[in-house]
Amino acid sequence: MNREFLELIKTRRSCRKYKPEQITDEELQAVLEAGTYAPTSRGMQSPYIVAVQNPALREQLAAMNARVMGTTSNPYYDAPTYVLVLTPADANNPIQDGSCVLENMMLAAHSIGLASCWIHREREMFSTPEGKVLLKEWGLPDGLVGIGALALGYPDGDPGQAKPRKEGYTRVIR
């Protein structure tokens, strides 16, 4: 195993404080492309990835997510970019496909000095009429289910160290 890659995996952290400065288009494209190379069930490339940088739309998405969460704070931590992942509900393995995409993008982001955090509740957000209108506006097909999203941007501060791994996390049966 490439040790640098292993180190990258170990040092990725969920970031909950972002600089307001927007990431570059090159950085965004690198992260999105990494998402598109995730493994997918039967190689169907079932997920759709939607990056949102528009401030009014980010505000709308934050309000939708906060409503599901029952909070008034921004669940995307005021990151300058949100990356949503949605998958057809009738795909072979919609959650697994979307999750692989999200993890690829988190690692890619970390590898180029960006910070990210998986943000939940997109399933509920995009099952509402408001969510369905957005999907239509974005030219996406009917029948998508929200899998998750990333808050993405430059970290504001040090996100800290990983917790120690639990006892018995792995075993090798020979």
Ligand X SMILES: Cc1cc2nc3c(=O)[nH]c(=O)nc-3n(C[C@H](O)[C@H](O)[C@H](O)COP(=O)(O)O)c2cc1C
Positions in the binding site for ligand X (CB under 6 A): 13-14, 16, 117-120, 148, 162
Q: Give strand pairing partners of 153.
A: 115
Q: Is there a contact between 32 and 51 (Cβ–Cβ < 8 Å)?
A: yes
Q: Give strand pairing partners of 14.
A: 116
- Residue 165 makes CB contacts below 8 A (sequence gap 6+) with none
Provide the minimum distance between the beta carbon of 136 and ligand X in the complex, in angstroms, as a whole number: 25
Provide the minimum distance between the beta carbon of 13 and ligand X in the complex, in angstroms, as a whole number: 4
Provide the minimum distance between the beta carbon of 8 and ligand X in the complex, in angstroms, as a whole number: 13
Provide the minimum distance between the beta carbon of 134 and ligand X in the complex, in angstroms, as a whole number: 19
**Of 51 and 149, which has the nearer Cβ to ligand X?**
149
Cα separation, 86 vs 153, in Å, equals 20
**Of 120 and 132, which has the nearer Cβ to ligand X?**
120
Nearest Cα to Cα of residue 94 among 137, 48, 129, 152: 48
**Of 91 and 147, which has the nearer Cβ to ligand X?**
147
**Of 26 and 115, which has the nearer Cβ to ligand X?**
115
